[in-house]
Structure 1
Amino acid sequence: MKRSFGERLFDGSNVVLMLLLSAVTLYPFLYVLIASISDPAWVVKMRGLIWYPHGFSLDSYKLVFDNPAILTGYGNTLLYVVAGTALNILMTSLGAYALSRQSVKWKNPVMFMIVFTMFFNGGLIPTYLLINNLGMLDSRWALIIPSAMSAYNLIIMRTAFQSVPISLEESAKLDGANDFTVLFRIILPLSMPVVAVMILFYGVSHWNSWFNALIYLRTRELYPLQLILREILITNSTDSMMTGVGGADKMPIGETIKYAAIIVATVPILLLYPFLQKYFVKGVMIGAVKG
């Protein structure tokens, strides 16, 4: 079909707009990457936009990886991401399955109470007192148990489970299957796109989480990577990484250490996205809330 001038203009405008949005989104990351591998003295003097590296130095990355706090934070964060995401998927799947079955009584009042928590909650102080009374203060459980399930993600997964034909469940139960068999061998395998999206949502949330660790943790050996990164960026605590650096070079290398730490903390979660991208749009659409 021959397209009109207005249609071509509209498509061209969309392309230009998306390219501009992509550039605005990508440039901050590119800026940090270029600054992290550039000459530290030049980075300190530079003002404005950066388009290419000036000089080349990986000293900042070496100092970052030589810092034991970074490696400990990495290990802690990986533990929180893996354990937390596994618990999130389990709890969300169990809740979504129960609330998506037609035979479950009182599911609408229960759903109302879950949605109610999205708008109203007890606040920080009651939550802190609860964590303390449960004996989870200054422990890894404080970063895993309280965030075991998201009401928003539960709604998405519940809607996805409702789209699975009820005849499959009925056939399985006629063959002697129980609810756990139906969930783990029928519902979840048929809902892998939305499960992949849940893994991405929960995983990114755990990876970027720092506030709960700041509130509930006191032992530095339990700190996640993002809390270590916060100390480096906000409190300027880079001196421990520069024990072998001369006095005149400490300020320039201290600035590039911040950029290198951002890259080190960001790249791993970026590498996860391409593996889940093919499920992302499909999973969100399957679990979309329908009126």
Structure 2
Amino acid sequence: MTVDPTSTVKPALRPRGPRATRGYRAFQAVNAVILVAVVVVTLYPIVNIVARSFSDEAYIIAGEVTLVPRGFNLTTYHLVMSDSMFWTNYRNTVVYTVVATFISIVLTTCYAYVLSKKQLRGRGALVGIAVFTMFFTGGLIPNYVLISSLGMTNTIWAVVLPNAINVFNLLVMKAFFENLPVELEEAAAVDGLNTYMTLLRVVLPLSKAVVATMVLFYAVSFWNSWFTAFLYMDQQDLLPVTVYLRNLIAGATSAQNVGVIADADEVQAAATLQAVTIVLTTLPILLVYPFIQRYFVSGVMLGAVKG
């Protein structure tokens, strides 16, 4: 059957989907307003700190710095970046974060993979022990006595080992591994792979999203950590940069107490020292986060859904 091109019969119109109701449009509008407000509240402190780091002390004290720098200057950046102790502590933070994150990922992955095996004897007890530590700890003094007795004070291990496994991250990875098809591991076993090779060559390549998420969680946690180093270290050249920042904040009431200030001209930059150090401290995380963020939501969701 052929269709006459000169025919005046109009083709049937494609049916349209249901129109959004007035209530749904109102919900979208309210949701958009709330999200914009959350973004503004979240970004304002960051932008304000950056503006203060480039502003003159007089404008900061007068409360005239909000989102735009006033009295633009780079003097404080020069003072902080010329302090050798700042870079020593900065290097310590990088080393501590890289080593601690690597150890934490290895231990968490191995423990989570073991707990994901339902046929494992004593699995419930192992999960219970891990969950118990989420709610109860040994206490500050017993922990300090333990670290001291093991001879780990003033060493990297005092920062790395006490918090090597985060139970929340452990449970997320455990749930993720439980959702992987059992047939994949059975096929690997048929091919002659043992448990370790199955984990390395089959499971981990399929777990990039959750592993990247855990790397982000651990890296941010160790990068921002300061109390552990403050507690177990008393040598200035071993401290992370977060303790350097903490000391600046603690001595902010008196400019003369800040170590990088040496004369009257440099005292004028005291009000921006904290802002400059905060910017330099958070900059690496802000630069790394966009490359890992795409794994963040998918990794958490995959580990949180049980099949």
Bigger radius of gyration: 2
Cα distance between partner residues in 2 of 1:137 and 1:289: 41
Q: Is 1:273 aligned to residue 289 of structure 2?
A: yes
TM normalised by structure 2 equals: 0.90
- Please tell me whether the aligned partners of residues 174 and 303 of structure 2 are also in contact (alpha carbons under 8 angstroms): yes
Query: Cα deviations across residues 119-175 of structure 1 (Å, max 9, x unaligned)?
Result: 112111111111111110121110011111111111110111111111111111111
Counterpart of 2:261 in structure 1 is: 242
* Aligned match for 2:74, one of 39, 55, 58: 58
Cα distance between partner residues in 2 of 1:137 and 1:107: 34
- 1:214-225 → structure 2 map (5 Å cutoff): 214-225=230-241
Q: Is 1:18 aligned to residue 44 of structure 2?
A: no
1:287 alignment partner, SS class = helix
Counterpart of 1:146 in structure 2 is: 162
Q: How many residues align?
A: 287
Cα distance between partner residues in 1 of 2:34 and 2:63: 29
Cα distance between partner residues in 2 of 1:143 and 1:211: 9
In the TM superposition, residue 282 of structure 1 has moved relative to its aligned partner by 0.4
- 1:81-230 → structure 2 map (5 Å cutoff): 81-230=97-246
Identity %: 40
What are structure 2's unaligned runs of at least 5 residues?
1-17
TM normalised by structure 1 equals: 0.94
- Please tell me whether the aligned partners of residues 100 and 160 of structure 2 are also in contact (alpha carbons under 8 angstroms): yes
In the TM superposition, residue 250 of structure 1 has moved relative to its aligned partner by 4.2
Cα distance between partner residues in 1 of 2:34 and 2:278: 28
Q: Is 1:7 aligned to residue 30 of structure 2?
A: no
In the TM superposition, residue 251 of structure 1 has moved relative to its aligned partner by 4.1
Cα distance between partner residues in 2 of 1:104 and 1:282: 28
Amino acid at match of 2:261: M
Cα distance between partner residues in 1 of 2:23 and 2:123: 50
Amino acid at match of 1:241: V
Cα distance between partner residues in 2 of 1:235 and 1:242: 12
What are structure 1's unaligned runs of at least 5 residues?
none
In the TM superposition, residue 55 of structure 1 has moved relative to its aligned partner by 2.3
1:55 alignment partner, SS class = coil
Counterpart of 1:27 in structure 2 is: 44
- Please tell me whether the aligned partners of residues 155 and 289 of structure 1 are also in contact (alpha carbons under 8 angstroms): no
- Please tell me whether the aligned partners of residues 210 and 299 of structure 2 are also in contact (alpha carbons under 8 angstroms): yes
1:70 alignment partner, SS class = helix
Moved >6 Å (runs of 4+): none
* Aligned match for 2:61, one of 25, 44, 60: 44
Q: Please, what is the CA RMSD of the aligned residues?
A: 1.5
Cα distance between partner residues in 1 of 2:167 and 2:69: 45
Cα distance between partner residues in 1 of 2:259 and 2:160: 30
Cα distance between partner residues in 1 of 2:273 and 2:132: 44
In the TM superposition, residue 23 of structure 1 has moved relative to its aligned partner by 0.5
